[in-house]
Amino acid sequence: NAGVTQTPKFRILKIGQSMTLQCTQDMNHNYMYWYRQDPGMGLKLIYYSVGAGITDKGEVPNGYNVSRSTTEDFPLRLELAAPSQTSVYFCASRVDSPNYSNQPQHFGDGTRLSIL
Amino acid sequence: QKEVEQNSGPLSVPEGAIASLNCTYSDRGSQSFFWYRQYSGKSPELIMFIYSNGDKEDGRFTAQLNKASQYVSLLIRDSQPSDSATYLCAVPPFSGGYNKLIFGAGTRLAVHP
């Protein structure tokens, strides 16, 4: 099992460019999440999905879009890159369970994105 | 009030000492609580979760939960330099249907020889 795979690992964008951060998981998890982590800070939830075709906003959704057409994939789209979006982006997934208490999120290795 | 609050640190402890990390949360409906460890430049990894009041022990780690005070802590006994990392408290709020995790800003722990 590869777990949660994120691509690319590093990227430099110019202001105004667009790009898609890819996330795929092979654990058949229904729940998937996108976070950003600024230096010295905790993780902020951008968007999440509870299953294919269902997405919802997190704490900091502005400037981002997501789609969930399959269980495996949950791409994050930046349409007009801004310097404030320079961050490390983590994708995570977890199994669907009525009892959240024993279901951890599994994280990918992250994408380090710089907007110049 | 932030949903999940932690002291940012750094918390500096000598090798072999007990490190105590604290977290408070605002949603009284929250049922379970997670502690993640994050080494510099790496992704978070789960080290403990707790959902009942009291203590839960796993090796050198003990999680403590007090729902009445909305307080959860993590104790690391016999601290080692390899424990030096940022520790993130995470809570799935009732207000989000328990579908998402809200993370604290993390406490940076430094264990010195």
The percentage of chain B sitting over the pLDDT mark of 70, rounded to a whole number, equals 97
Beta-carbon separation of A109 and B100 below 8 A: no
Say whether pLDDT at A101 is over 70.
no
| Short-list A32, A23, A27, CA closest to A5 | A23
SS3 A84: helix
Q: Which amino acid is at B10?
A: P
Position B101 confidence tier, pLDDT thresholds 50, 70, 90: confident
**Residue range A93-109: mean pLDDT, rounded:** 79
Beta-carbon separation of B99 and A31 below 8 A: yes
Q: What is the pLDDT of residues B16-47, one digit of tens each?
A: 999 999 999 998 888 889 999 999 999 999 99
Say whether pLDDT at A108 is over 90.
yes
pLDDT of residue B8: 83
pLDDT of residue A1: 65
CA distance B47 to A35: 19
Q: What is the pLDDT of residues A24-37, one digit of tens each?
A: 999 999 999 999 99
Query: Do A44 and A60 contact (CB within 8 A), yes or no?
Result: yes
pLDDT of residue A95: 85
Lookup: tokens for A1: 């099992």
Task: Return the residue of A nearest to B51 by Cα.
Answer: A101
Q: Chain B: nearest CA to A16, how far in angstroms?
A: 27
Say whether pLDDT at B98 is over 80.
no
**B-chain residues within 8 Å CB-CB of A110?**
43
Say whether pLDDT at A73 is over 80.
yes
pLDDT of residue B104: 93
SS (H, E, C) B18-54: CEEEEEEECCCCCCCEEEEEECCCCCCEEEEEECCCE
Q: Chain B: nearest CA to A8, how far in angstroms?
A: 15
Average pLDDT over chain B reads: 91
Position A2 confidence tier, pLDDT thresholds 50, 70, 90: confident
CA distance B25 to A59: 16
